[in-house]
Amino acid sequence: MTLSVRIIPCLDVTNGRVVKGVNFTNLVDAGDPTEMAALYGLEGADELTFLDISASSSGRETTLDVVRRTADQVFIPLTVGGGIRSVKDVDALLRAGADKVSINTAAIARPELIAEISDSFGSQVLVLSVDARRARTESGFEVTTHGGREGTGVDALAWVQQACELGVGEILLNSMDADGTRAGYDIGMITAVRAVSPVPLIASGGAGTLQDFAAALDAGANALLAASVFHFGIHRISDVKAYLSAAGYCIRESALQ
């Protein structure tokens, strides 16, 4: 009776389609988020994350439809992030079938949004997405926006502490230095954020080898998010879980087919 570590594939979605390349076999439509979500579910994903990178309101409306179709077929937790600015946005996503939402830029611009969402729906629906890089702030980690291109001057550890006090239920820590490099998660950053975070921590950015996943857990991550290693077929989710299980970590296995 131990809580399993969670393996979470992340899909970037715009205008109802997955944008990053994928390498699934036997896939009828490589760009359909619902279909990919279902396949990842079969492979043993413990949760799913959609990141809506649509630039238009019609694109966001399409995302709601993707969420509805996914929630109708895939019975594991679904987090949706991207462009969420209000309690109303959260309500629409939850009603469409999302279980959690992740917020980032809007919370930096207006931290009260965190309390507004958590007071309305409970902190368990709210994931704070922190895009951080190494920089000369007090802790050495700075919050960025726009995919790591713009610094905010906000210290990442101070921000995590403030957000936890305001009521987030989970931290999604994205290393902008490691993102896309497949050179490993930023272990120092995970260790530092773990030390100040009383809520579960999802590590993101840099997953390459199977050992990388274990190293992030050793640094204190409770869940591991990855995109490209799964989409490009470098590792299957089942391989990651088998590796972690053999290494002594508690993973979810199901006997049901």
Partner 1 sequence: MIAILDYGSGNLRSAQRACESTGRTVVITRDFEIAMQADGLIVPGVGAYASCMAGLVAIQGDEIIRKRRELERPTMGICVGMQILFSQGSERSRDSAVLTPGVGLWPGEVSRLKADILPHMGWNSVETNPAGVLFAGVENESFYFVHSYAAKESVGQLTTWGTYGEKFVAAVEDGSLSATQFHPEKSGKAGLKLLKNWADSL
Q: Which residues are catalytic?
A: 12, 131
Q: Which is nearer to partner 1, 36 or 178 (CB)?
A: 36
In angstroms, the CA 8 to CA 132 distance is 19
Minimum Å gap between C-beta 96 and partner 1 is 7
- Contact indicator for 231, 20 with CB cutoff of 8 Å: yes
State how far the Cα of 104 lies from the Cα of 109, in Å rounded to an integer: 9
Using rule CB under 8 A, residue 28 touches partner 1:
no
Spatial distance between the Cα atoms of 221 and 210, rounded to a whole number of angstroms: 15
Nearest approach in angstroms of CB 72 to partner 1 is 5
φ, ψ at 51 (rounded to 5°): -110, 110
Instruction: Confirm or reject binding of residue 245 to partner 1 (CB under 8 A).
Output: no
Q: Which of residues 61-100 bind partner 1 (CB under 8 A)?
A: 68, 71-73, 75-77, 91, 94-99
Closer CB to partner 1, 41 or 208, in the complex = 41
- Residue 161 interacts with partner 1 (CB under 8 A)? no
DSSP, res 125 = G
Chosen residue from 11, 125, 173, 225 binding partner 1 by CB under 8 A: 125
Q: Whole-number minimum distance, CB 257 to partner 1, in Å?
A: 8
Q: Which of residues 135-154 bind partner 1 (CB under 8 A)?
A: none
Q: For the chain, how are helix, strand and coil distributed in percent, rounded to 5?
A: 40, 25, 40
185 Cβ neighbours under 8 A, 6+ residues apart: 175, 178, 203, 204, 205, 206, 207, 212, 215, 216, 219, 221, 224
Q: How far apart are CA 153 and CA 235, in angstroms?
A: 36
- Least Cβ distance, residue 161 to partner 1 (angstroms): 15
Question: Interface with partner 1 includes 248 (CB under 8 A)?
Answer: no
Positions touching partner 1 (CB under 8 A) are 1-6, 41, 46, 68, 71-73, 75-77, 91, 94-99, 120-125, 169-170, 198-200, 222-223, 252-257
